[in-house]
Structures are given as C-alpha cells and as structure tokens.
Amino acid sequence: MENVTKKFPGVTALDNIQFNLKAGEVHVLLGENGAGKSTLIKIMTGAYTPTEGVIRVQGEEVKIDDPIHAQELGVGAVYQEFNLVPFLDVAQNVFLGKEPRKNGVIDRQYTLDKTKEALDMVGADIKADALVDTLGVASQQMVEIAKALNSRSKILILDEPSAVLTEKEIEKLFKVIERLTAEGVGVVYISHRLEEINVIADRVTVLRDGQYIQTVEVEKGKIDKDELVRLMVGRTLDDFFPKHDIEPGEEILRVENLGKKGVLENISFSLKKGEILGIGGLVGAGRTELAKAIFGAEPADSGKIFVHGKEVSIQSPSAGIANHIGVAPEDRKKEGLVQILEIDKNINLASMQKISRGPVVNFNKMDKVSNSMVDKLKIKTPHLKQLIMNLSGGNQQKVVLAKWLASDTEILILDEPTRGIDVGAKVEVYNLMNELAAAGKAIIMVSSELPELIAMSDRILVMHSGTISGELSKDEFSQERVLKLAAGGEA
Ligand SMILES: Nc1ncnc2c1ncn2[C@@H]1O[C@H](COP(=O)(O)OP(=O)(O)OP(=O)(O)O)[C@@H](O)[C@H]1O
Ligand SMILES: [Mg+2]
C-alpha cells in the first residue's frame, strides 16, 4: 500500500500511509485506539475505498471493490467485530454471498466438504453444519478464519483476534498462524498486547493519529517494549499499573448466598467503599453472570443483596441503576452501548433524570457533561454527535466508562475493562479507577489479565464453575495462586 489516505467527514483516519506485507511473515499493526489500524485493513479488504493511494497485490496495481473481490485476490480478513450470521450454519456462513451452484441450485455437499477442509486446516473441531449461534466465541473466530481462508488466501488479516480468546485458545491460534505462514501466507495482525507481539511478530508497523510512524524488524522474544510504546504514544510510560492504596471505608455492598440455577451457587462476599475487588477465574466460571446478577440484567433466583446495609431487590437493570450500581459489560458492542445513537446520548443514558426536568431534556447540561467526559477520558472524536458505530473499538469502551462516571454510580462493575484498549488508555482507565476509589466508590473488576488483576485489586475472589473457589488478600497475590484456584484447586 503506497501513500494511502482515508478521510471521513471531520476525520483524516489515515494520512499518506505506507505498508507492505511479505509472503510468510507476521506483520503487526500497532497503534493507539483510533490510530487508524482497522481503517487500513478495511481498505485492504475493499470494505472502504481509499481517498487516495495505490494498492498492489503481487506487484499488480488493483482497485479492490468489495470484500468478495478482495477474497478473489487472495485477501481474507477477520474483523474486530464478528460478521457471522447466528441463525445460519457454519458452511452457510463460510459461503455467504458466493454460494456455488450446480444446475442453478446451491451445491450444499460441495460447501460442506470445502468448509470441512478449511476447518481442518485451522485445526478446529467444529462441524460444518453446526449452527453458529450454538458456538462459543473462540469457535466462532475459528469459523471466521476458516471463512477468510476459504478462497486459498495469500493474505490473512486478523484484527484483535486474541481479545476474545483465553490463553489456551490463543496458543491454538498461534499454531494456526505458524502453520499458515510456513505455507507462505502473509499475516497482518492487530493487537494491543505487547507480550503477544513478542511471540509472533516478524515486523511491526506503528501508526499514530493516522500517521505512519515507522516499521521495525523484531526478533522473536526480544522486542523492546519501551521503544514500541514510545513509537506508539509518542512518549514513554514509566508505570503500567499506577495503583493507589486507599483505606477502605464502610461496607457498601453485601451479597449472601446468591444463586442462579446452573450458573451461580452460594456466592457471598462484601465490598467496601474505596475498594477494588478483583474477580479472577477462567472464561465460563460465572464471572460475567455474577456481574449481571448483581446489576439485575440477569437476576439471581436465590440469595440476598444488601446495599448500604439494606436488603434490596434487583430484578432489572433499572433497579440496579436505582441502587447506584453500574456495569461496563464484557460485550460492549451489544450490551454496553446503543450503536446507532450519538456519543452524547450514550454518555447520558444512565443519568437522564439528572439532566432533565420531567420529560424535557436540558441539552445544555447534556453538552456540558458530554464535553467534560470526552476531555477527561480523551475520547477521540471530531464532535459529540458522532455515532458510536463510527468510533474505534477502544474509544467505544471509553464511552461506556463515561456513561457510568456521569451517573451517580457508587458500585461500578467492570467486566474486562481494558480489553481492546491501548497501553496508554489502559493507564488512563487505571487512573480513573483510582480516582473513583478515592472518591469513595467501590469497584468490582472482572479480569482475565492476571498482571492487571494482581496489580489493581485490593482483594481477589477467584471463581470456579459458578462458585467462589477462594479469596486472596494482597499479601497472598500471585499468578500461580489465582490459576490454581481458577482450576478448582487449593491456592
Ligand atoms: N465509518 C467511519 N466514519 C467516521 N469516522 C470513522 C469511521 N471509521 C473510523 N473512523 C474514525 O477513524 C479513526 C481511526 O479509526 P480506526 O477504527 O481505524 O482505529 P483503530 O486504530 O482500529 O482503533 P482501535 O484500537 O480502538 O480499534 C478514528 O478517529 C475513528 O473514529
Ligand atoms: Mg480497530
């Protein structure tokens, strides 16, 4: 890609970018939220047309009209947000929009065979006729990769593929990548996790604010983390986990024997003002279900919840909000935001009563709150009326946090709060958590990132198959202990 520029109304997402990919290499695209990574790959796949610039595939200049044309050129991609149709099966998804026909009828057998071939290639144990809706995220991603590879891709683009995977699944993904690169496929890989880049990258290209910064060759296992961060954010970060210790105040939340059939069992704990309570465990241990039960999104069916010492009944999110509880959900796209609404409305969604009198909204107040949040969280947007769906992934997460900061939330549940967030913004989120704790709010943080869990929590509860398998106080924190408890063993 030569001198590629992409302009959206009010935003130059990419300004004169250079990028090249060699056969058999893993080329990482690195940059802060909103730097332009996803936009660049959408141009590679024909989802966007560049405003200016030239694209060559194997030396030939091409105009990529749309994703199907890109696939014909050997470019396959898995986007940051999945694009599978849940009520179709795997083979139907893989061949969506390019169904092979025999005598005018879709050749079902052919699609099943070819899909099986592609699934075998990525080493996925998934049936070609399984309904996508019945698959977990990791399997869905394997289907996406199989789909991207279906046309014998020479180029595979993966936009933050590991954000939704567990450690084990990531290892599996890396094996697939290794196998593909050995066969000469060039891989473009986007991730905010520098540890991963250390494992798989051959080269790294850094973008900042739509500008091309530099391409560096890296040796596996020997990346210079500080240098990459400096290229990315334009300065060095001296503390990746700026945790402040705050003396906890009185109890604000207590949960007694909370249960939900088949999901949660006998969950009891209490939470104090100013405390950051970490919740560890493996995917599927019930952490997100616990968060939803406390907030009222998926209420518990037994047990008691006390807020400020008073028993409350939380049967819906509005009851959760009325009790000053907020959740930044794991699935922010579906549950945390209204994609088709503007930034300002999303920010004020949980505090409408604060900025309105009766049915009348005070738009001046709404503007003021929104502006201060956009400033405070450094949300990258041309204006407050931008639709959420046009924001980069990381900036969407910041809007979710802004929504609860703008409201009177006292108990904030953060489910994987820094997933998909760049290193600089992560530090900003941690600083915000510190600020909230210092202001007497209480935070429950569900996290699969052990360094984050250990650095930012005052206390850690570990969950295993719907129960609390152990509690660790600060002097007991270690990755090993968390992992042992997560596996259901003794710490
Ligand atoms: N369809 C669109 N309309 C308007 N602006 C857009 C659109 N798509 C992207 N942008 C803007 O272009 C810039 C680059 O966004 P992009 O999604 O490429 O960032 P990114 O590097 O992938 O970030 P992240 O790490 O958060 O995913 C952002 O400022 C974003 O708001
Ligand atoms: Mg992106």
Class of domain 251-486: alpha beta
Q: Provide CB contacts within 8 A for 225, sequence distance 6+.
A: 194, 198
CB of 34 closer than 6 angstroms to any ligand 1 atom: yes
Task: Encode 64-119 in three state secondary structure.
Answer: CCCHHHHHHCCEEEECCCCCCCCCCEHHHHHCCCCCCEECCEECHHHHHHHHHHHH
Instruction: For residue 196, give Cα distances in angstroms to 162, 163, 213, 222, 225.
Output: 9, 11, 21, 12, 11
The reported pLDDT for the residue numbered 151 is 56
Q: What angle do CA 390, 392, 398 make, to 5 degrees?
A: 105
CB of 48 closer than 6 angstroms to any ligand 1 atom: no
How far does Cα 210 stand from its chain's mean position? 21
Q: What angle do CA 114, 115, 120 make, to 5 degrees?
A: 100
275 vs 332: CA distance, rounded Å: 24
Domain with CATH 3.40.50.300 in the chain: 2-233, 251-486
- Compute φ and ψ for 54, nearest 5 degrees: -125, 140
Q: Whose CA is nearest to atom 6 of ligand 1?
A: 390
Q: Which residue has the tokens 């990419």?
A: 14
CB of 46 closer than 6 angstroms to any ligand 1 atom: no
Residue 40 Cα: closest atom of ligand 1 = 18
CB of 30 closer than 6 angstroms to any ligand 1 atom: no
Q: Whose CA is nearest to atom 22 of ligand 1?
A: 38
412 vs 436: CA distance, rounded Å: 9
Give long-range contacts, CB 8 A cutoff, 24+ apart: 263-269: 263/289, 263/466, 264/289, 264/290, 264/293, 264/300, 264/466, 264/467, 265/466, 265/467, 266/303, 266/467, 266/468, 267/303, 267/467, 267/468, 268/303, 268/468, 269/461, 269/468, 269/471
Q: What is the CA radius of gyration of the chain?
A: 23
- Ligand 1 center to 230 CA (angstroms): 21
Q: Provide CB contacts within 8 A for 453, sequence distance 6+.
A: 278, 280, 445, 447, 460, 482
CB of 29 closer than 6 angstroms to any ligand 1 atom: no
Is residue 170 within 8 A of residue 163, CB to CB? The reply is no
**Strand-pair partners of 56:** 61
- Please compute, for residue 209, the number of CA atoms within 13 A of its CA located in the half-sphere on the CB side: 6
Q: Are strands 467-473 and 264-272 parallel, antiparallel or unpaired?
A: unpaired
**Mutation probe of ligand 1 site: the residue of 4, 6, 8, 381 with most atoms within 8 A of C-beta:** 8
pLDDT tens profile 345-400: 999 998 988 899 988 999 999 999 999 999 988 898 999 999 999 998 889 988 99
CB of 71 closer than 6 angstroms to any ligand 1 atom: no
CB of 35 closer than 6 angstroms to any ligand 1 atom: yes
Is residue 209 within 8 A of residue 233, CB to CB? The reply is no
Residue 391 Cα: closest atom of ligand 1 = 31
DSSP structural state of residue 342: B
Q: For the full predicted model, state whether its pTM sits above 0.85.
A: no
Name the residue among 435, 430, 43 with its Cα closest to residue 237.
430
Which of helix, strand or coil describes residue 137? Answer: helix
Q: What is the mean pLDDT of each run of 10 residues along the chain (491 residues)?
A: 95 96 97 93 95 95 91 88 88 90 92 91 88 86 84 86 79 89 95 91 96 95 90 83 92 97 96 97 90 96 97 96 92 84 94 90 95 91 94 88 90 92 87 91 94 96 96 96 90 74
**Strand-pair partners of 188:** 27, 157
DSSP strands (E only) in 392-452 = 411-415, 442-446
The reported pLDDT for the residue numbered 90 is 95
> Domain 2-233 is of which CATH architecture?
3-Layer(aba) Sandwich (3.40)
